[in-house]
Amino acid sequence: MDGTARTSLAPIASLTKKRILLLSLFLFLPGEAAAAYESDAGGYATGLLGAGYRQMLSDRLSIRAELLAGPAGGGGLNTSGGVILQTMAGLSWRLSKNLDFALMAGKLRSLRGDLDTEILDLGLVDRFNTLESI
């Protein structure tokens, strides 16, 4: 990249590490770090924190909604200062006590720049604190 803003509409592939801290049966704090590894947006990275809500549909299946915010930049994407807001909603399937498979979709937008895009997220979620029933 030569420092100019990215104008391509090609998808950006990123590797994301997400951690979730459960506060209750319904509320959680998600945190994630992501970096682009493919396409012409190499160097793009984010670090987001937020709040989330989940509703269990069965003992393994839940719906989730998340709102995250934090810094982002690089890769020629116009974030104009780096602050982004990301909203997500989707399904989560519990694989084990501390691991879920998640399918999420949402929106990412820069608060001051031109970055405004849809997101499709497919991944594994590691819960590092699990509430226990007494």
> β-pairing, 13-22 with 116-129?
parallel
Please state the domain extents for the chain: 19-128
Burial of 120 (0-12, 13-18, 19+ CB in 10 A): exposed
Distance CA 47, CA 45 (A): 7
pLDDT in tens, 88-125: 999 999 999 888 899 999 998 988 878 788 889 898 87
Distance CA 109, CA 79 (A): 8
SS3 89: strand
Amino acid at 88: M
pTM comes to: 0.77
Phi, psi of 74 (to 5 degrees): 95, 180
CB 35 within 8 A of CB 14: yes
pLDDT tens digits in sequence order for the chain, 134 residues long: 344 444 445 667 777 888 888 899 899 999 999 887 766 666 777 889 999 999 999 999 999 999 999 988 666 676 777 788 999 999 999 999 888 899 999 998 988 878 788 889 898 877 665 555 54
pLDDT at 38: 67
